[in-house]
A and B are shown apart, each in its own frame.
With several copies, the nearest count.
Chain A
Amino acid sequence: MSLSKQEMAALVARDIPHGAYVNLGIGQPTLVADHLPEGSGVVLHTENGMLNMGPAAQGDEADQDLTNAGKQPVTELPGSSYFDSAASFAMMRGGHLDVCVLGAFQVSASGDLANWHTGDPDAIPAVGGAMDLAIGAKSVFVMMTLFAKDGSPKLVPACTYPLTGVGCVDRVYTDLATFDLTADGVVVRETFGISYDELAERLDVPLSR
């Protein structure tokens, strides 16, 4: 059976090493936090300027001066630290984060990422930290459904949407399969409710396993 969003998040969480420094992108990737086991030692970075961010603030805990990158009120954990935006993005761009988890519109077989703009000429563009996140971490994981609502694959030979980053994605978690994007091509790690052959049939990119 295909995976739910929560099941995908649990898979990602399983693959995050103990003690890793991790940035979870806005949207679906934030679900990963709920699946990190007790004692994982994982430290969450939020690009607006904090390390060791805690869970969402509940009720009275909410503090206008303590938010995540989605501008939602969060909490601090013991051992956290605050820093300015230049330092925060320097940390990211300098490759100090172990893992970044992002959503995507499209990912290409060579690891190009498109997740900031649909290409709609009427859309008001907004990029935020997406391009910095895409190229900054030692490992970049993408979480997305494998097919768009119109049935078109989102793992593609080349992105048709405007790019966020080039050759930056290392691994893709989808509802139907997980993939490693390697120098030798796309490697299927696991499938969920779909056979490898059917997957190969429905995607336009060469696969191996």
Chain B
Amino acid sequence: MSATICATAEEAVAGIEDGSTVLVGGFGLAGMPVQLIDALIDQGATDLTVVSNNAGNGDTGLAALLARGRVRKVICSFPRQHDSWVFDGLYRDGRIELELVPQGNLAERMRAAGAGIGAFFSPTGVGTPLAEGKETREIDGRTYVLEHPIKGDVALIGAHRADRMGNLVYRRTARNFGPVMATAATTVVAQVTEVVDVGDLDPETVVTPSIFVDRVVRV
């Protein structure tokens, strides 16, 4: 259904329920939907599972959401950073669950969710602790591990520009997880720096077609 252009980040995150799985875009600050995360902190949903490449930096954004005890589980590839003290503390105290996923499998598992793929055989992680307990299979002489989709109830992503239908373009390496997360969640919310009229994006250059986008807010 057609996208809604929201007046505020508060409106854009309205209705996110306790227990939701929330996909959060960004690689470091590039593509991080900072204002949407802040709005989610104010919105109040708790017992969340957060899927993101990292698990928060410093005391703001995702880290602030974690610090408020609102996140039950993190699915990510790289939680440990020089400034990930909030996650580090919760993890050492056993107050947050971690599913560590190689970055490529993380992206591909969300891609599978968005693409209707039931599961796929990946060569990444085979023979490592991160494949322990998972089904493996040899195909054409190579060993693969079976990986399942990661689907979100909500995706919060940062894009560059949207048109009023919800078509999105990104900027440089801020693209990262945004396009794949946009395919993998029931409700997709994009923060952008500019909303343009329908027809003002070149159809050849649209990265996330409007079909994937439910709500857009300019920040």
Please report A residues at the B interface, Cβ cutoff 8 Å.
17-21, 41, 43, 45-52, 63-67, 71, 76, 78-86, 88-98, 112, 117, 122-132, 135-136, 162-166
Q: Does residue B29 face the partner (Cβ distance < 8 Å to A)? A: yes
Q: Does residue B43 face the partner (Cβ distance < 8 Å to A)?
A: no
A127 adjacent to B102 (CB under 8 Å): yes
Contact B167 A81 (CB under 8 A): yes
Contacts of B206 in A (CB 8 A): 81-82
Question: B179 interface residue, CB < 8 Å from A?
Answer: yes
Tell me which residues across on chain A come within 8 A of B98, comparing CB atoms: 125
Q: Are B88 and A124 in contact (CB under 8 A)?
A: yes
A-B residue pairs in contact (CB < 8 Å), sample of 11: A18-B2, A48-B30, A80-B203, A81-B203, A90-B108, A94-B114, A96-B183, A96-B212, A125-B100, A127-B77, A166-B127
Contact yes or no, A163 B127, CB < 8 A? yes
A interface secondary structure, majority: loop
- Contacts A19-B1, A21-B211, A127-B102: A50 and B115 contacting too (C-beta < 8 A)? no
- CB < 8 Å: which of B28, B163, B171 contacts A71? B28
Distance in angstroms from A65 CB to nearest chain B CB is 4
User: Cβ of B123 and Cβ of A135 under 8 Å apart?
Assistant: yes
Contact with A along B76-92 (1 / 0, CB 8 A): 01111100100110011
Count of B interface residues, CB-CB < 8 Å: 72
Judging by beta carbons under 8 Å apart, are A41 and B100 in contact?
no
**Residue in contact with A86 in the complex, picked from B91, B108, B204, B210, CB distance below 8 Å:** B108
Please state if B78 and A127 are interface contacts (CB–CB under 8 Å): yes
CB distance A76 to B179 under 8 Å?
A: no
Give the residues in chain B near A65, CB-CB below 8 Å. Answer: 30-31, 171-174
With contacts A82-B203, A94-B116, A94-B183 known, what are 5 further pairs, Cβ within 8 A?
A46-B173, A76-B203, A78-B199, A86-B107, A90-B115
Within 8 A of A (CB), among B162-198: 163-165, 167, 170-180, 183, 198
What separation, in Å, do the CA atoms of A86 and B116 have in the docked complex? 12
A162–B129 touching, CB < 8 Å: yes
Which residues in B have some Cβ–Cβ distance to A below 8 Å? 1-2, 27-31, 53, 77-81, 84, 87-88, 91-92, 98, 100-108, 110-111, 113-117, 122-130, 143, 163-165, 167, 170-180, 183, 198-199, 201, 203-204, 206-207, 209-212
Residue of B nearest to A136 (CB): B116
Q: Which residues of A contact B143 (CB under 8 A)?
A: 166
A132 touches B1 (CB 8 A): no
Q: How far is the CA of A78 from the CA of B200 in the complex (A)?
A: 8
Looking at the complex, which one of A66, A96, A112, A128 makes contact with B211 (CB distance below 8 Å)?
A: A96
A93, closest chain B residue (CB): B116
Q: Which residues in B have their C-beta under 8 angstroms from that of A48?
A: 27, 30, 173, 176
**Most central of A21, A81, A135 by chain B CB within 10 Å:** A81
Taking CB as reference atom, which chain B residue is nearest A135?
B123
Contact of A41 with B177 at beta-carbon distance under 8 Å, contacts A21-B211, A81-B209, A163-B129 already known: no
Q: What's the nearest-Cβ distance from chain B to residue A128, in Å?
A: 4
Given A65-B172, A67-B28, does the pair A79, B163 have CB atoms closer than 8 Å? yes
Q: Which residues of A contact B114 (CB under 8 A)?
A: 90, 94, 96
Chain B residues with CB under 8 Å of A41's CB are: 2
Q: How far is the CA of A83 from the CA of B124 in the complex (A)?
A: 20
